[in-house]
């Protein structure tokens, strides 16, 4: 069964610093992978997705993620954090038997001034 592991339930960075949020997946078939962002008291918004095209995927708000099959990873990065990036981030993989997404437990990003 597919699963997703997000390392670090909380990550704190300074404004302007690199953001790195880690995601590892397990999948028996080539997966589709997603990053969603959730701002406080809001729904989930798609940041970016990997669908077996380019391994480096660019998303909204300056985020990007790189699919590394050998490492079964899909880490999310942003070169320079903004205060507005403070939110919870979820990595997800397709492959639920019902066509659903399998989510990681989420990483809450704090950005210090």
Partner 1 sequence: DAGITQSPRHKVTETGTPVTLRCHQTENHRYMYWYRQDPGHGLRLIHYSYGVKDTDKGEVSDGYSVSRSKTEDFLLTLESATSSQTSVYFCAIKPGQGAETQYFGPGTRLLVL
Please state the closest distance from residue 103 (CB atom) to partner 1, in A.
4
* Closest of 73, 109, 78, 77 to residue 93, by C-alpha: 73
Beta bridge partners of 6: 23
Nearer to partner 1 (CB atom), residue 38 or residue 72: 38
Please state the closest distance from residue 96 (CB atom) to partner 1, in A.
6
| Structure-token match 């019902």, residue found | 98
Contact assessment for residue 103 and residue 35, using Cβ atoms and an 8 Å cutoff: no
* Closest of 28, 31, 29 to residue 67, by C-alpha: 31
Nearer to partner 1 (CB atom), residue 62 or residue 106: 106
Nearer to partner 1 (CB atom), residue 99 or residue 113: 99
Q: Which residues bind partner 1 (CB under 8 A)?
A: 4, 9, 32, 34, 36, 42-46, 49, 51, 90, 92, 94, 96, 98-101, 103-106
- Backbone phi, psi, residue 85, to 5°: -80, -10
Please state the closest distance from residue 82 (CB atom) to partner 1, in A.
23
Nearer to partner 1 (CB atom), residue 67 or residue 90: 90
């Amino acid at each position: 069964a597919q699963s997703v592991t997000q390392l670090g339930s909380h990550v704190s960075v300074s404004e302007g610093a690199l953001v790195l949020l880690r995601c590892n997946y397990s999948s028996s078939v080539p997966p589709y992978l997603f990053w969603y962002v959730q701002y406080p008291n809001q729904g989930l918004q798609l940041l970016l997705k990997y669908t077996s095209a380019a391994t480096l995927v660019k998303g909204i708000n300056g985020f990007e993620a790189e699919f590394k099959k050998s490492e079964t990873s899909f880490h999310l990065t942003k070169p320079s954090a903004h205060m507005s990036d403070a939110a919870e981030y979820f990595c997800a993989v397709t492959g639920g038997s019902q066509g659903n997404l399998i989510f990681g437990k989420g990483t809450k990003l704090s950005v210090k001034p």
